[in-house]
Amino acid sequence: MDFITTLLEKNHLQRRSIKIEKKMKEIVDRNEITKREVWDRNKAISHFKKKGEIYKAS
């Protein structure tokens, strides 16, 4: 990679990081109540299969 390409990629990553941080702040500022649940393995697999998330269901 040349110097200009490296700078452009670094700039892109910095802008992307700022967007992610803004989105995270929006989520936190909503102050939503969260709940942690512990499921047995079979229930979790069934849940993710129903959602079509095959990689989480294996």
Counting residues of the chain whose pLDDT is more than 70, the rounded percentage is 98
pLDDT of 11: 85
So what's the pLDDT on residue 29? 96
Q: What is the pLDDT of residues 10-26, one digit of tens each?
A: 888 898 999 999 999 99
C-alpha 30/C-alpha 11 separation (Å) is: 29
Q: Give SS3 for 6.
A: helix
Q: Where are the domains of the chain?
A: 3-50
Spatial contact of 56 and 48, defined as CB atoms under 8 Å apart: yes
- Over residues 26-53, the pLDDT tens digits come to 999 999 998 999 999 999 999 999 999 9
Look up the pTM and report it.
0.47
**Distance (Å, whole) CA 45 – CA 26:** 31
Is residue 1 pLDDT above 70, yes or no?
no
